[in-house]
Structure 1
Amino acid sequence: MTIALRHARVRYGPLEALHGVTLAAPSPGLTVLLGRNGSGRTTVLRALAGAVPLSGGAVVWDGTEVTRMPAFERARRGLCLVPERRAVFGSLTVRENLELAGPDCDSVLAAYPQLRPLLARRAGTLSGGEQRMLALSRALRAHARVVLVDEPAQGMSPAVAARTYDLLASLDACVVVAEQRLPPALRGRRAFVHELRRGAVVFSGEAGEWAARAGRPSPRGGR
C-alpha cells in the first residue's frame, strides 16, 4: 500500500507552491519530507490529506486515484493529518481531547506519561511540546492507515523526540513526516527521504544515501 502524488501542482492565489511533484510513501514504513521553510513539504502533506486542492496532477492511494475525494472522506478511510499548528482543541481539557479518540486513555498515557498530571488542564495552556504530545497521542489512538505529521517533535526534549519517532516507526501504517532536517532520532533507523526545494523534489532515496550525497555523516554512523 502506498500514498503518492503524481505530477502534483498546488497554487495559493497567483503563486504555485508545488511544481509537478511526484513522490510516493510506502506502507508500512517511515517517509521523511525534508526541506526548509517554503520548500513545499507542508503543502505536500496537505495535498495528500485533501486539505488543499490540486491545480494539476493526482493523488493516488492504494492504487486508486483520490484527487477529488474530500478530506473528511480520506479521514474516514483511515488517513490522519497532524498539522504543525492548531492540532489540538485549545478550549477542551487534555482528557477531553484524548477522549475524542476513545474513552480509554491509559495506552496513550503510557507513551507520554508527562500528560497524566495535565489531564484537567485546557489544551490551549500547554507548552508547544506538550501540545505536540497531545496531538500525536490522538493520532496514535486513531489506528490510521496513513499518518501525516508536520514536525512531530517540535518543542520536545531530545529524549521525548526519540520516543516519538520510536512510536511512529512502530506503527503498522504509512507514516509521512515533514522536517527541516533529518532528526537525530532517525540516524540509526531505516527511513525513506524526499528532499524538496522551492516546490520541487530534488532527491528521493534512502536516508543513508541522502546523507552520503549531501556530504553528511551516514545516519547509521551517527555523530
Structure 2
Amino acid sequence: MSPARPSSLELRAARVRYGPLEALHGVSIAAPAPGLTVLLGRNGSGRTTALRALAGTVPLSGGAVVWDGTDVTRLAAYERARRGLCFVPDRQAVFGSLTVRENLDLAHAGGDVAPALAAYPELRPLLARRAGTLSGGEQRMLALSRALLSRAPVVLADEPTQGMSPAVASRTYELLGDLDACVVVAEQRPPPGLRGRAGLAALAYELRRGEVVFRGELAELGRPPDGGVRPSPAPG
C-alpha cells in the first residue's frame, strides 16, 4: 500500500484547561507537510499538552485544530488515527502484553517488518520478547518503528528519544527528519543535529507557561538577529 499524502496540521488560538487551571493560553502552531516541527519547553510549559491537543487526546476549551484546512476539533482521537494520524506518547506507547513482533505486525498488516528492523536492528534479537519487559529506550525504538511502518501522513511524538543512547537518538532524529510526512515532536531542549527532510529547515515553537515565546527555524534558537546569544528562558 502506498503512503498517504502528507497532511498539514494546525492549532489555532488553542486553549486547554485541566480543571481550574488553563494549560494553553491561545496557542497557535502551524506544522507543514512534509516537514518537521519541534515543540520546545520545560516541564509545565505546555509542549506536551499542545501535542496531545493535536492528537485529540485532550479536548480544547477554546480555539481549533485544523487538518489540511478542515476543522477537526470535535473529531475523536481514534477517528484522527483512522485518518492517518500516528501519535507516540511519552508513556505506554507499546502493547506491553504482546511480543515485539506482534507490536510490529499491528502496524503493518502485510507482515513486512523489514523497514523497522533496518531502522532499529537492536530490535531483531528481541522479536519474541514481551514489549512490557523491554527497557525504556527499547520501548521507544519499538513505538517509533510502528510509526515508521504505518506510513502515516501525520506523526506526533512526545520526547521520542527518551532513554536512548546518543548514537540511537541521533539515528532517530535522522529517521524522523527524513519522513515524507507532517512530523511534530515535543522536546525539552533542541535535539543536536536535528534537520528537516531533504534539507528543509526544521521549524521550532518554544513554549513557556502555556504561551508561544518563539517561533521560527530551529537553527535560529539561541541566536538573536544581532548575532549575539539569545537569552535562556527564565526559570519556571
Q: For residues 203 and 106 of structure 1, what CA distance do their matches in structure 2 show?
A: 39
**TM-score (norm. length: structure 2):** 0.88
Gaps of 5+ in 2: 1-6, 231-236
Select which of 215, 218, 222 maps to 2:229: 215
Aligned length: 216
- Correspondence for 2:97 among 91, 96, 99: 91
Match of 1:144 among 138, 152, 156: 152
Matching of residue 115 in structure 1 with residue 123 in structure 2 = yes
Query: Offset at 1:162?
Result: 1.0
CA contact (8 A) 1:91 1:122 kept: yes
Contact 2:39/2:187 (<8 A) preserved: yes
In the alignment, structure 1 residue 45 sits paired with structure 2 residue 59: no
Give me the whole-angstrom Cα distance separating, in 2, the residues matched to 1:92 and 1:18. Answer: 36
Could you give the per-residue CA deviations for residues 165-197 of structure 1, whole angstroms, max 9, x where no partner exists?
111111110000000000113179731000000
Give me the whole-angstrom Cα distance separating, in 2, the residues matched to 1:64 and 1:25: 14
| Distance in 1 separating the partners of 2:229 and 2:32 | 26
Q: Check whether the contact 1:34–1:178 (CA below 8 A) recurs between aligned residues.
A: yes
Q: Is residue 9–residue 55 contact of structure 1 (8 Å, CA) maintained in 2? A: yes
Corresponding residue number in structure 1 for 2:207: 196
Indicate the percent of aligned positions where both proteins have the same amino acid: 76
Deviations, residues 78-121 of structure 1 (Å, cap 9, x unaligned): 11100000000111111111111121111110110000001111
The answer (yes or no) to whether the contact 1:161–1:185 under 8 Å persists in 2 is: no
Q: 1-side partners of 2:8 and 2:142: how far apart?
A: 27
Secondary structure of 2:9's match? strand
Work out the CA distance in 2 between the residues paired with 1:187 and 1:24. Answer: 17
Distance, in Å, in 2 between the alignment partners of 1:187 and 1:22 is 22
1:16-27 aligned within 5 A? 16-27=22-33
- Within 5 A, what are the aligned runs for 1:63-74? 63-74=69-80
1:75 aligns with 2:81: yes
Give every structure 1 segment of 4 or more consecutive aligned residues whose post-TM-superposition deviation is greater than 6 Å.
none
SS at match of 1:92: coil
Answer yes or no: is the 8 Å Cα contact 2:174–2:195 preserved in 1. Answer: no
Q: How does 1:160-179 map to 2 (within 5 A)?
A: 160-179=168-187
Residue identity matched to 2:132: G
1:62 paired residue number: 68
The answer to whether the 8 Å contact 1:150/1:178 transfers is yes
Q: For 1:38, what is the secondary structure of its paired residue?
A: coil
1:3 partner amino acid:
L
Per-residue CA deviation, residues 109-140 of structure 1 (Å, 9 max, x unaligned), is 01100000011111111111000000000011
Alignment TM-score, normalising by the size of structure 1? 0.93
Separation in 2, partners of 1:58, 1:35: 22
Q: CA RMSD in A?
A: 1.4
1:202 deviates by: 0.4
